[in-house]
Structure 1
């Protein structure tokens, strides 16, 4: 069964604990834990307590591979992925979301595709490689900052993630990308973007990515992975505003993913 979950990144600057509370309050199916600078996100025992307290499962762990989490769990990239898999196994998640290496991580990048396959074989966890984007300061041509590529459909990964905000920056058609990935699409970061150079993570339906049509397409394909709301609520000035955006995102997902499943 497809789970519609909430990324803990969606409540930043509030904590991982707050994310579990919002997810339970609003009726999400599960949580994706972004391992980051919030110490709770790094602690197996704390996450287990949140799972039990809120009766809210964790379906995925997002490995600490963002620019601002480069020093979380050390700086050795394979070690960070191994720890992410260990955390996933401990808390009952079946997916680790991972970004492709940065271009300056050349040794890591050189063995990335085969290394991900080896980790999946040794751990039993799906490492769903996420689509990224060229870096650009304007509408002009971007610079390739990820190796072996920002587009996971170009490589033989067994499991992948589509993020609609990243696709907006890259100018990617997410429905075409989903078709290229086929059964290898395991995980979705449902959000939106305007097509600017910024990674906006808008509430789905508030951008140009045809998020509703994308969900309908997934439903027609009998998509059985995770749909995770990963939105930016940092500009919300009150708790009520944040709750409203999280609730609207969940309602959008349920409406559009279900529209063609009857």
Structure 2
């Protein structure tokens, strides 16, 4: 099991500085958000990332674009663009020697009528089917993340049942289509982590670790993160914090 943290878009540290920070804390994994890499004019290339991993001993997961990148977009050109963004992240992850790519499963406003929600769901299924086939072609696990339930938006992955039916609709026979379990999203949605573990087992390759009080997706420190991760048993375990100080609080226990 590898333990590390996510390089959040709000962080000002360079990739190298963030890696050094984690290694100094005794962690050995980094999740690289595509959004962070997109806005950093000095972002390392996939080849440079691979060299950094070799020199420091860290491993990587990547997080595919998700801000303004809805795989269930109602507009077909925009849907295609979002799916292309995921495929490009898969290619970058391969070149960097990463272990998996995390992806969101799409959403639609709840206020829209049923036929609009059905259309968005079909769009998301098409997108993930295309991306899963690309993941299979390049040999990079693509892991769909459970998102939290929101009053305004219907997500395809809020609960184990919704995520399972979504995977069934995608219907791609591949060892490279997996699951990311976000324990904070599960908690604020009111679902026990064990329900996801029971439903998906070894398909859970990546875990996002953070806490909240049940009222919102606060991404608070989770000092017991190792015990939580042991209950799940995934290879890559990622602290998703809002500051470096919160990562330190987790590690300090």
Please report the TM-score for the alignment, with normalisation by the length of structure 1. Answer: 0.72
Structure 1 residues 211 and 20: CA distance shift in structure 2, 3 A? closer
1:123 maps to 2:138: yes
Q: Deviations over 1:34-62 (max 9, x none)?
A: 1114324574255345435x614332111
Is 79-88 or 110-119 further displaced after alignment?
110-119
Q: Deviations over 1:131-177 (max 9, x none)?
A: 10222xxxxxx23333x443434433740011122223212211211
Match of 1:229 among 239, 243, 251: 239
Deviation at 1:80, TM superposition (A): 0.6
Provide the residue aligned with 2:99 in structure 1. 94
Q: Which runs of 5+ in 2 are unaligned?
A: 72-76, 110-118, 169-176
CA contact (8 A) 1:100 1:150 kept: no
Q: Deviations over 1:77-118 (max 9, x none)?
A: 121111111111111102000011232793641414423431
Structure 1 residues 79 and 116: CA distance shift in structure 2, 3 A? closer
Within a 5 Å distance, the mapping from 1:134-153 to structure 2 comes to 134-135=149-150, 142-146=151-155, 148-151=156-159, 152-153=163-164
Provide the residue aligned with 2:229 in structure 1. 215
Provide the residue aligned with 2:49 in structure 1. 47
Q: Deviations over 1:212-259 (max 9, x none)?
A: 6633423xxxx24211111122xxxxxxxx34x32332355xxxxxxx
Structure 1 residues 69 and 230: CA distance shift in structure 2, 3 A? farther
CA contact (8 A) 1:6 1:30 kept: yes
Please report the TM-score for the alignment, with normalisation by the length of structure 2. Answer: 0.74
Count of aligned residue pairs for this structure pair: 222
CA contact (8 A) 2:103 2:142 kept: yes
Match of 1:156 among 150, 167, 181: 167
Q: Which runs of 5+ in 1 are unaligned?
A: 136-141, 234-241, 253-262
User: 2: distance between equivalents of 1:46 and 1:213?
Assistant: 33
How large is the RMSD of aligned CA atoms in angstroms?
Answer: 3.1
CA contact (8 A) 2:53 2:59 kept: yes
Provide the residue aligned with 1:57 in structure 2. 58
